[in-house]
Amino acid sequence: MDIDLMLKVYPFFLEAAGLTILLSILTAILGLFCGILGVAARLSRFAFIRFLGAAYVSVFRGTPALIQLFILYFGGPQIGIQLDAFEAGVIGLGVNAGAYMTETIRGAIISIDKGQREAARTLGLSNWQAMYKIILPQAARLMVRPLGVNLNMLIKATALVAAISVIELTYTAQRYIGSTYKPFEMFLLAGVLYMIIIYVVGRGVTWLDRKVQIT
Amino acid sequence: MTDKKDFVDIRHAQKSYGNLEVLKDISLTVERGQIVAIIGPSGSGKSTLLRAINDLDPLTKGEIWLDGVQVNKKLPHRQYEKHINEMRQQIGMVFQHFNLFPHMTARDNVSMAPKMLKGLSKEAADKLAEEQLDKVGMLERIDYYPSQLSGGQKQRVAIARALAMHPKLMLFDEATSALDPELVDEVNQVMKKLAEEDMTMIIVTHEMDFAASVCDRVLFMDQGVVVEEGPPEVLFKNPSKARTREFLGKHLGATK
């Protein structure tokens, strides 16, 4: 193993890891936004909107994220959607992550005992008041860990955008292999950096989960 | 608004799930200040009837009136929501499993709805919570979370929570059924106190002794109909229907 080479190139990998982190953050924000919309749709009182929510989830969870990215980035221009690779990466991954988050958030909401909603409605709270004052504060505490899992998956999924040539960590590793012919060292370096990112995020999630529990 | 005779007026209440008829054309009235117990075997429809009164389990057919206003008015969705939320503020409900909000202290459980729906200031709502919790003997636990309370204490907080909205009518859905036997009495004491204050109450219960000692009227329900009703001393001591006798035979024997 060529340690010297790894030490020489790692600053470039760090820079690429920065882009991976930025991608992850933007994807997570968009994903959360889509997830909230998805849940609102899935819990709507209108059957058609519920159907749209369910369709969103099954389409985006039912096909490979890579295919979704390819359709958006390579197929998009054909139907008038011009995005650069980074934009396509964020949007593609974000909308995909949103489908998973929809189910995570919905799972937490429907796991709250129906007596909670009944008690709130009985006091005279509207459906929406019951939701944000009673159901969501309890569901939010249950969501932290599973959303942490979504976040973990999403960070790893950012490696896919290497396939549409976003110069993030995985793409950088591939590029350095082209000039060094050392795939073991290059992928190992990328892998270690992914693991550090995910470890830090995982600790953050655990901390947050502890913090929000009811005493 | 109305004469006190039909303060609560249930007219031809019917409810079915598919082919299963849970309530079969029940009509009854409750006077202001009256305390009515509904007894009957499980599956008799007594909880369903109670939960129809605040439209938590909507009727298939029939009308519910409270103090001259129809609770389950047919209205377009938005108007109905507004109407039912106003009606429900006047109808307190206590559940078998308490349904306290676990993320709020006893204080917040009680003060949340008055703050939110009646626009009480934080100070006024706090004072109200203190009063109501004091009334149910829970003032010293005001800053406890539900998980730190016993079943009987939870139920007393739940009663205080309902009372804080100053309801015209209180519904109790087997309020003591989930409690350990030694905790039943503290809840019954609170209910008795309410009875003495002339609160109108409809109580679904399995406790015949309590029904006998507190209620003005007892209704015996079976298979979706009111089989028999009357003052407790008549219904318990001298029921006229065979079905009532059979039920009471089992239950009075079991509780003694």
Which residue in A124, A141, A215 is closest to B89 by CB distance? A124
**Running DSSP on this structure, what letter comes out for residue B255?**
H
B113 contact residues in A (CB cutoff 8 A): 123-125
DSSP character string of B177-246? TTS-HHHHHHHHHHHHHHHHTT-EEEEE-S-HHHHHHH-SEEEEEETTEEEEEE-HHHHHHS--SHHHHH
The CA distance from B111 to B105, in Å, is: 10
Please give the pLDDT value at position B250: 82
Confidence of residue A114 (pLDDT cuts 50, 70, 90): very high
Mean pLDDT, all residues of chain A? 93
Distance between CA B122 and CA B186 in Å, rounded? 29
* Whether residue B227 has pLDDT greater than 50: yes
DSSP, res B249: H
Superfamily of the domain at A3-214: MetI-like (1.10.3720.10)
Residues of chain B positioned with their CB less than 8 A from the CB of A138: 101-103
Confidence band for B256, pLDDT divided at 50, 70 and 90? very low
pLDDT confidence of residue A6:
82
pLDDT at A215: 60
Query: How many alpha carbons fall within 13 Å on the CB side of residue B148?
Result: 13
CA distance B48 to chain A (A): 14
Those residues of chain A whose CB sits closer than 8 Å to some CB in chain B are: 45, 113, 115-116, 118-127, 129, 133-134, 137-138, 141, 214-215
Residue B82 tokens read as 């507004």
The residue-averaged pLDDT of A82-111 equals 95
Contact predicate B41/B247, CB 8 Å: yes
CB contact under 8 A, A125 and B117: yes
Taking 3-state DSSP, the helix, strand and coil percentages for chain B, each rounded to the nearest 5, stand at 45, 25, 30
Global pTM reads: 0.86
pLDDT band at A182 (very low <50, low <70, confident <90, very high): confident
Query: Which of B57, B80, B112 to mutate against chain A (most A CBs within 10 Å)?
Result: B112
Q: Which residues of A are less than 8 Å from B95 in CB distance?
A: 115, 118-119
| pLDDT at res. B42 | 87
Closest chain A residue to B77, measured at CA? A45
Q: What digits encode the pLDDT tens for the residues B20-31?
A: 899 999 999 999
Residue A137 three-state SS = helix
Going from the C-alpha of B144 to that of each of B103, B121, B133, B138, B152, the distances in angstroms are 11, 22, 12, 10, 14
* pLDDT > 70? residue B104: yes
Q: Could you tell me if B205 and B23 are in contact, meaning their C-beta atoms sit under 8 angstroms apart? A: no
Which range is least confidently modeled, B93-102, B130-139, B236-245? B236-245
In 10 A of CB A185, how many CB atoms?
20
Q: Give yes or no for residue B190 having a pLDDT over 60.
A: yes
- Indicate the angle between helix axes B106-118 and A114-123, nearest 10 degrees: 50
Chain B residue with minimum CA distance to A117: B99
What's the gap between Cα A121 and its chain centre?
34
**Interface residues on B facing A, Cβ-Cβ cutoff 8 A:** 54, 56, 77, 81, 85-86, 88-89, 91-93, 95, 97, 99-103, 112-113, 116-117, 145, 147, 158, 161-162, 165
Tally of CB atoms within 10 A around A150 = 22
| DSSP SS3 for B154 | helix
Q: Which of A121, A133, A215 sits opposite B116 (nearest CB)?
A: A133
A vs B, Cβ pairs < 8 A, gives 62
Residue count (chain A): 215
Whether pLDDT at B12 is above 50? yes
